[in-house]
Amino acid sequence: MDKITSKPISRFKKGDAFVGMAPHPLVFMEINEVKGDARNKDFCIVTWYSLDEKGINAQRRFPMVAVEGEFCNFKPISRNLLKEAKSLMHQYNAEVRQLTDKKKAKALCKEYNRKLTEMLPDAEERLALAQQIEKEIITNKWLDCEEDNYWVEDSEQGSKYITLVSVASESYDDKNDKNDKTITEQSIYLRDNCPYGWGTLVKSGAKYMVIEKPKYL
């Protein structure tokens, strides 16, 4: 099995490969060019590779600096492992471009990210951490209503949090008939007074936010 190098790389070459330490998003890095070094620093041009719901997301040829043979938040891996990962990414790219359903594209992206993770020597640790992150509730941030999320009140954390939903609606400005101007209004609902089902919220592009449940509720 391929192993992540335990010792820092002291000199870099074109084609050297790395993987991000964070489990999500999973990012691979390849050195395109070594620009030089100064004392304990190495200056390189690199490309990052990751997957999103549209295909391969490649951030090409931008500078990064390694200090004492290490890049911040990246671990070195073998070139062969990167080659296998890029091959799998291209396979995903071909499949996802044939999909028009956003939900199916998201599921396929998740599946291929899992396959990429399983190729890594620390896969078990990464998958466990990724699963833990998925269970964490994001608070105080507006997010898109999607089919794979729901009212937090119906979860195990329902006693601690509540869901706010923001729905946009348009109306005409009656006082300005000449321009026929439309006004966009935002309506905020709690679960108990929301007139829409979650499926309708998803289709309408509504937003939701999870906040800590006030003590008076």
pLDDT in tens, 6-39: 444 447 999 999 999 987 789 999 999 998 878 8
- Burial letters for 86-98: b for 16+ Cβ neighbours within 10 Å, e otherwise? beebeebeeebee
Alpha-carbon Rg of the chain, whole angstroms?
23
Average pLDDT rounded to a whole number, residues 99-125: 92
Whether the CB-CB separation of 42 and 66 falls below 8 Å is answered with yes
Q: What is the mean pLDDT of the chain?
A: 87
Helices (H), the chain: 79-96, 102-118, 123-135, 198-204
Task: Look at residues 62, 4, 7, 65 and name the one whose alpha carbon lies nearest to residue 36.
Answer: 65
* pLDDT computed for residue 9 by the predictor: 46
* pLDDT computed for residue 8 by the predictor: 46
One-character DSSP codes across 56-73: EEEEEEEEEEEETTB-TT
Average pLDDT rounded to a whole number, residues 74-83: 96
% the chain with pLDDT above 90: 62
Q: Over 50: is that where the pLDDT of 57 sits?
A: yes
Whether the CB-CB separation of 109 and 53 falls below 8 Å is answered with yes
Whether the CB-CB separation of 199 and 146 falls below 8 Å is answered with no
Which pair of structure tokens corresponds to residue 157?
């954390």
CA gap 24, 16 in Å, rounded: 22
Whether the CB-CB separation of 51 and 113 falls below 8 Å is answered with yes
* pLDDT computed for residue 177 by the predictor: 57
- Phi/psi of residue 191, nearest 5 degrees: -60, -45
CA gap 35, 69 in Å, rounded: 14
Q: What is the pLDDT of residues 142-190, one digit of tens each?
A: 999 988 788 998 887 788 899 999 998 876 666 655 566 777 788 999 9
CA gap 62, 60 in Å, rounded: 6
* pLDDT computed for residue 7 by the predictor: 46
Which pair of structure tokens corresponds to residue 15?
């084609």
